[in-house]
Structure 1
Amino acid sequence: MKKLFTNYKATFEGLSKEVWWLSLITLINRAGTMVIPFLSLYLTQSLGFTFSDVGLIMVFFGLGSVAGSKLGGYLADKIGYYKVMAVSLFLTGVLFVLLQFITTLNAFCAAIFILMMVADTFRPAMFVALSSYSKPENKTRSVTLIRLAINLGFSAGPAIGGLIITTMGYQGLFWVDGITCILATVLLIKVLNPKKARVLDEVKVENPVSVYSDKPYWIFLVAMALFGIVFLQYFSTIPLYYKEAHHLSELEIGLLLGANGIIIVFLEMPLVKWLEDSKQTKVSLMLIGGVLVTMSFIVLNMTSWVGILIIGMFFMTIGEMIMFPFSNAYAMERAKKGNQGQYMSWYSISFSVAHVFGHFSGMHLIEKVGFDNTWYIVFGLSLLSGIFLLVLKNKPDSLKVKLT
């Protein structure tokens, strides 16, 4: 047992102090994002919206995310990642508190657009900061540590969120989410002041390559957008599936979603380290991750046994643990060719586009064709994502980005 712990601890060695602080800030922030997994339930059960209404709201959720990701990348290149992260976190906290007072469909669409536009300026700025605070050989593990913090927050968030709903109602979620964002802002100002933080890999490109002329990167972005549509069903239609098809309570849903984060906390860093040592390319590993996430939906149609939900969650979790660290690392390495903010904003936008189409189409499909047929359609989209990754894998230029 001691040797196992020692080996686990060794996977974290060599990461900079700034990366650890950034991870803690992310943990505090994400622990409060318990509103998001329960948003579809809140909108249908507390506000009385239909599935189609929820889908429309999620379109504005995604559009705000697209606008925020684009704006965040632009501002990170112009004024620096630190200012963008600080302002985004603070305003997001304020807006989450105010969101609970919006009750009409049109107003909620507008409010969620503004909230996500402000919130998602943080993401490309955070990726640029992470790249700057990491040595080149530690990029993938630094990304993994950030994801560990995100998922540790997500593992606690839904479980606590389910408890808050049963004791305080849905409004309690908005207060907790807003307060944690503001606390994360305070910590960011205290520990990541540019005058104190060390920059370990500052990339200055004299003649930056425009992201618009980087064809392999666009193939990668299309694959990520399609994968995002598939993955994001776990934040909209899957919670409804748990509730409607298997009659799970909010607390049970929170615990099941929280199990995803717990598995990631204990297994992702060792898994990523082992996969790095395997010398597989990032694209090959992304393909493996995509296959596992696909399987998480297919198994749901195999039986009505409630235990299949745990199996599906396990497949999704392992696939996610492979897909996201290596796709993040691929994007950061590719970004060294041009303006980092621009590159990372488009990486964020690929998932924002998934928000635009994924939630709405998923909600519309379960209303029109039912859950089982929806999962078959999701399977088809996942296959299409895999085809784009295969094309990327076979392009010689994509092999220039080495596995760090």
Structure 2
Amino acid sequence: MKKLYFNYLETFKGLSTEVWWLSLITLINRAGTMVIPFLSLYLTKSLGFTLQNVGWIMTCFGVGSVLGSWLGGKLTDKIGYYKVMSISLFLTGVLFVALQYVTTLLGFCIGIFLVMLVADTFRPAMFVALSAYSKPENKTRSVTLIRLAINLGFTAGPAVGGLIITSIGYHGLFWVDGITCLMAVVLLMQVLNPKKARVLDEVKVEDPVSVYKDKPFWIFFVAMFIFGFIFLQYFSTMPLYYRDVHHLTELEIGLLFGLNGFFIFLLEMPLIKWLEDTKNSKSYLMLIGLLLTVFSFIVLLISTWAGVLVIGILLMTIGEMIAFPFSNAFVIDRAKKGNQGEYMAFYSIAFSMAHIFGHNSGMQLVDKIGFDNTWSLITAVGFIGVLCLWILTRVVKREKVEA
């Protein structure tokens, strides 16, 4: 047990101090976005909006996320990641506090669009900063550490959010969200000031290649959109499947999803370290990650035994643990010949677009053709993504031979 513990700690060694600070800033920021999990409840219970109204608001949420990611990439390449991160966190804090005073449908659509437009400029800038503060050999593990921070934030946020709602009401969420964003700005200015922080791998390209001309990247983009599309079913249609088909209670559903967070926290860093040592290409490892996620839907079609739900969530968790860090590292490497912000923006946009189409499509499919047929269709779509990553693996291998 002692050896396992020290081996686990070993996987965190070699990461720069700046990456640890960036992870803490991300943790504070993500824990602070506790309004989001309770948004549909707030809109229907406190503001009296219909589910159709909520659908339009979530569409504005997704569109703001897409445009924010694109804008964040553009601004990062023009004014640098530090300024974009600082401005994004500050304005997001102000907008979250202001959003509680908006009560009309049109006003909330505009408000949530602006919040996401500003908030998601942070993502491309943060990934470029992560690349700059990481040694080349540590980039995948640095991404994994950020993911741990995001997962811890998303785990802590809703728990604290529930206590805030119970004690002082929904308006308390907006104040806490705003204040945590402002706290993250103060911490950022203290510990990641460019004049003080060590930049380990800052890339400046004199004649950058446009991301629009990078054909392998667009194969990757399609694969990531497909991965996001099927992965997000676990946060929209899958809870309904657990409740309506397997008759699980909210507590049992929560425990199932708790397995996901627990295994990510416990195993992701050692798994990534082990996979890095295998010397397989990032595109091949992404393929394995997507394939495991697809299998998590296939097992649901094999048996009605409740145990397949646990098998399914474990397959999805392992797939997620592999696909996200290596896809991120793939983009960071790819971006070295172009504008880093632009590359990271389109990586974020792939998942933002999956948010726009994934949730709604899954709901519509379940309503029209039922759960089993929906899982079959999602499996077929997933194999298209696997095919894209297989093609990408061959293209990247050919590039290395020709280089």
Tell me the number of residue pairs that the alignment of Structure 1 and Structure 2 aligns: 401
AA partner of residue 289 (structure 2): G
Task: Report the CA distance shift for 1:236/1:162 in structure 2 as closer, same or farther (over 3 A).
Answer: farther
Deviation at 1:252, TM superposition (A): 5.5
Task: Report the CA distance shift for 1:66/1:274 in structure 2 as closer, same or farther (over 3 A).
Answer: same
Q: Which residue is 1:211 aligned to?
A: 211
Aligned equivalents of 2:282 and 2:259: distance in 1? Answer: 26
AA partner of residue 384 (structure 1): I
Aligned equivalents of 1:370 and 1:302: distance in 2? Answer: 16
Deviation at 1:124, TM superposition (A): 0.4
Contact kept? 1:30, 1:154, Cα under 8 Å: yes
Q: Which residue is 2:285 aligned to?
A: 285
Task: Report the CA distance shift for 1:292/1:171 in structure 2 as closer, same or farther (over 3 A).
Answer: farther
Deviation at 1:245, TM superposition (A): 5.2
Aligned equivalents of 1:54 and 1:246: distance in 2? Answer: 27
Task: Report the CA distance shift for 1:398/1:15 in structure 2 as closer, same or farther (over 3 A).
Answer: farther
Deviation at 1:261, TM superposition (A): 2.2
Task: Report the CA distance shift for 1:156/1:360 in structure 2 as closer, same or farther (over 3 A).
Answer: same
Deviation at 1:156, TM superposition (A): 2.3
What are the superposed Cα offsets for residues 28-56 of structure 1, whole Å, 9 maximum, x if unpaired?
11122333344445555665655554443
AA partner of residue 286 (structure 1): M
Task: Report the CA distance shift for 1:287/1:326 in structure 2 as closer, same or farther (over 3 A).
Answer: same
Q: Give the secondary structure class of the aligned counterpart of 1:134.
A: coil
What are the superposed Cα offsets for residues 265-306 of structure 1, whole Å, 9 maximum, x if unpaired?
110000000001111111111111112222333344555665
Identify the range of structure 1 (122-131 vs 169-178) with the bigger mean alpha-carbon deviation: 169-178
Contact kept? 1:233, 1:358, Cα under 8 Å: yes
Do residues 260 (structure 1) and 266 (structure 2) align? no
Task: Report the CA distance shift for 1:307/1:103 in structure 2 as closer, same or farther (over 3 A).
Answer: farther
Deviation at 1:172, TM superposition (A): 4.4
Aligned equivalents of 1:294 and 1:22: distance in 2? Answer: 32
Which runs of 5 or more structure 1 residues have no equivalent in the other structure? none
AA partner of residue 284 (structure 1): Y
Task: Report the CA distance shift for 1:387/1:399 in structure 2 as closer, same or farther (over 3 A).
Answer: same
AA partner of residue 374 (structure 1): T
AA partner of residue 232 (structure 1): L
Identify the range of structure 1 (307-316 vs 381-390) with the bigger mean alpha-carbon deviation: 307-316
Contact kept? 1:54, 1:360, Cα under 8 Å: no
Q: Give the secondary structure class of the aligned counterpart of 2:89.
A: helix
Identify the range of structure 1 (268-277 vs 58-67) with the bigger mean alpha-carbon deviation: 58-67
Deviation at 1:71, TM superposition (A): 0.7
Task: Report the CA distance shift for 1:357/1:158 in structure 2 as closer, same or farther (over 3 A).
Answer: same
TM-score, normalized by length of structure 2? 0.90
Task: Report the CA distance shift for 1:237/1:184 in structure 2 as closer, same or farther (over 3 A).
Answer: farther
AA partner of residue 128 (structure 1): V
For CA contacts below 8 A with separation 6 or more, give which structure has more relative contact order. 1
AA partner of residue 19 (structure 1): V
Aligned equivalents of 1:240 and 1:94: distance in 2? Answer: 35
Q: Which residue is 1:191 aligned to?
A: 191
Which runs of 5 or more structure 2 residues have no equivalent in the other structure? none
Q: Which residue is 1:312 aligned to?
A: 312
Contact kept? 1:52, 1:360, Cα under 8 Å: no
Over aligned residues, Cα RMSD in angstroms?
2.6
AA partner of residue 206 (structure 1): E
Aligned equivalents of 1:206 and 1:314: distance in 2? Answer: 45
AA partner of residue 327 (structure 1): S
AA partner of residue 91 (structure 1): L
Q: Give the secondary structure class of the aligned counterpart of 1:395.
A: helix
Aligned equivalents of 2:231 and 2:43: distance in 1? Answer: 21
AA partner of residue 377 (structure 1): L
Deviation at 1:307, TM superposition (A): 5.0
Q: Which residue is 2:107 aligned to?
A: 107
Percent identity at matched positions?
70
Deviation at 1:8, TM superposition (A): 0.8
Task: Report the CA distance shift for 1:264/1:138 in structure 2 as closer, same or farther (over 3 A).
Answer: same
Identify the range of structure 1 (326-335 vs 299-308) with the bigger mean alpha-carbon deviation: 299-308
Task: Report the CA distance shift for 1:99/1:261 in structure 2 as closer, same or farther (over 3 A).
Answer: farther
Task: Report the CA distance shift for 1:184/1:339 in structure 2 as closer, same or farther (over 3 A).
Answer: same
Aligned equivalents of 1:17 and 1:264: distance in 2? Answer: 22
Q: Which residue is 1:148 aligned to?
A: 148
TM-score, normalized by length of structure 1? 0.90
AA partner of residue 82 (structure 1): Y
Identify the range of structure 1 (152-161 vs 328-337) with the bigger mean alpha-carbon deviation: 152-161
Q: Give the secondary structure class of the aligned counterpart of 2:194.
A: coil
